[in-house]
Chains A and B, each alone.
Chain A
Amino acid sequence: MRDELLSAVGLSVQVALLATVLTALVGIPVAYVLARRRFWGHTALDLLVTLPLVLPPTVTGYYLIVLLGRRGVLGAPLYAWTGWSVAFTWVAAVIAATVMAMPLLVRTARAAIESVDADLERAAHTLGRSEWRTALEVTLPLARNGILAGLVLAFARALGEFGATLMLAGNIPGKTATMPLAIYTAVQTGESGAALALVAVLTALSCVVLLVSSRFGTRAA
């Protein structure tokens, strides 16, 4: 039991950190183009990354199964090719957490980027900077606090993800049972001591995350 508790905490942190990195790699560019570009499919992209925020996590989880399951749209060719599939692995937990955390980062970062004075970007342009370098050297540094606040929120969301993870990754102790899932199992099996310990750890971690994110929030304002 003790081992399962420790592995749940370790796994959760690992999954949440990786999911945050993935969220940053995908989410920051997406937030930038949503804030600064108008293109065909703008609304569709916005909807796609925001939907997991409003859909029940089980619905998102179901889409992930349809996409990545052994007989899924992408999962079937992957399985045929490599004999490996995502479902029931810790990678599935990372993917589920990434998808669920994405809207929090994209929305926060997009608002921060939109609030950057466009005159400063134009000035950089007239001084001969390409859009790419303007984004990297002017826009993103000025939006830094908003983006960091979004990343912290994304981390918190990834740490707490339950529904989509349960559907795609299952609930395998030591492999995919993150803290929220381990809490669920502990309650189901009547191990209230274990549940309480995990609840305390998760609450403490979430408090830290919120304090850090409000720091960035006030500095951004």
Chain B
Amino acid sequence: MTSSGRGRGAPVRRRALAGLAVLLLATSVCGVEATGAQELTLSVAISMKEAVEELGRGFAAGRPGVTLRYNFGASGQLQKQIEAGAPVDLFVSAAARQVDELEKLGLVVPASRRTFARNVLVAIKPADSRVDLAKPADLLDPRVTRVVIGDPRTVPVGQYAQESLRALGLWDRLQPRLVLAENVRQALDYVNRGEVDAGFVYTTDMATRAQGVREAFRPPEDTYQPVVYPVAVVTASRQPALARAFIELLLSREGQAVLARLGFQPPRPGAR
């Protein structure tokens, strides 16, 4: 009984093993092929996710053999990754500071740097919130127990929010209510899930969760630095020409049209 069972089982097992070997071989061949082709790795501020992905699809479609790899996150985290030697070709940041610091360290190519979009800070609340948050001071309402901002140390939207709340004289009083998010999309998600009573994101992020969140108010634009998106080629890139081509795409009429449709504003004329 057992021996006949084993007799029937063995060829099946052998066939399965052979199949597995073929599969392993196939995947390793694919791997070799992929490294032979051109691969462009983009570290992108996560608020730019949809825009860069959409433009990236057209970019890769027009260039056979080119694969784009995305690394989304908070600009400050992406900056530290590049400082640590991450194999990245292009850096899209949601604030000038992170690119300034990389430029000082010689880690991005200064001549390649362009500012290609702007954004606007907005305070949001869960769609089912019953608190009337029409102006910044309303955040002091006792029903507002938790306010999420990006961690100002690494998340640009947190930097801008901190700057604005300081200018409005609310920062110190809101301190005990603050919850820090790792990036702007986590802040958005905390509000969307109703886990917090309010939060600061960009208007473009708010638009991606139209169901779950509502605009509360927009902090006066003169209380924080303009939200700008600089892009630059990473010095260590092995695909600088391809990386520059992507920057061209961001600045092109096509690129600007996609950005405008997703709610981003064009860069100020003459902006670096």
Contacts and interface: CB of A to CB of B under 8 A. Distances in A.
A189 B195 contact: no
Contact of A69 (B77, B153, B195): B195
A172 B180 contact: yes
B182 to A, nearest CB: 7
A146 interface: no
A185 B158 CA distance: 15
Contacts of B83: 190
Contacts of B193: 65, 69-71
B179 A185 contact: no
Interface string B69-98: 000000011001001000000000000000
A171 interface: yes
B76 A189 contact: yes
Q: Dominant SS at the B interface?
A: loop
Interface residues of B, number: 18
A32 interface: no
A188 B80 contact: yes
A149 to B, nearest CB: 36
Contacts of B146: 88
Nearest to B73: A188
Interface in B105-136: none
Contacts of B181: 170
A172 B153 CA distance: 13
Contacts of A65: 193, 195
A190 B182 CA distance: 15
Interface string A66-79: 00011100000000
Contacts of B182: 171, 188
Given A69-B193, A171-B182, A172-B178, A185 B151 contact: yes
B272 to A, nearest CB: 25
- Which of A88, A171, A185 has most B Cβ within 10 Å? A88
Interface string A163-181: 0000000111100000000
Bin chain A's interface residue count: 10 to 19
A188 B180 contact: no
Interface in B145-181: 145-146, 151, 153-154, 178-181
A58 B179 CA distance: 19
B153 A189 contact: yes
A188 B145 CA distance: 27
B98 to A, nearest CB: 11
Contact of A188 (B77, B178, B179, B195): B77
Contact of A70 (B76, B151, B179, B195): B195
Contacts of B180: 170-173
- Which of A65, A173, A190 has most B Cβ within 10 Å? A190
B266 interface: no
A189 B158 CA distance: 14
Given A185-B151, A188-B154, A172 B179 contact: yes
- Which of B76, B179, B195 has most A Cβ within 10 Å? B195
A120 to B, nearest CB: 41
B11 to A, nearest CB: 34
A156 interface: no
Contact of A189 (B80, B145, B179): B80
B232 to A, nearest CB: 19
Contacts of B153: 185, 189
A91 B73 CA distance: 28
B209 to A, nearest CB: 15
B255 interface: no
B181 to A, nearest CB: 8
Interface of A: 65, 69-71, 83, 85, 87-88, 170-173, 185, 187-190
A-B CB proximity, top 4 nearest: A189-B153, A190-B80, A88-B179, A71-B194
27 contacts: A65-B193, A69-B194, A69-B195, A70-B193, A70-B194, A70-B195, A71-B194, A71-B195, A83-B145, A87-B195, A88-B179, A88-B196, A170-B179, A170-B181, A171-B180, A171-B182, A172-B178, A172-B180, A173-B180, A185-B153, A188-B76, A188-B77, A188-B182, A189-B80, A189-B154, A190-B80, A190-B83
Interface of B: 76-77, 80, 83, 145-146, 151, 153-154, 178-182, 193-196
Given A70-B193, A188-B80, 9 more contacts: A71-B194, A85-B195, A88-B146, A88-B196, A170-B179, A172-B180, A188-B76, A188-B77, A189-B153
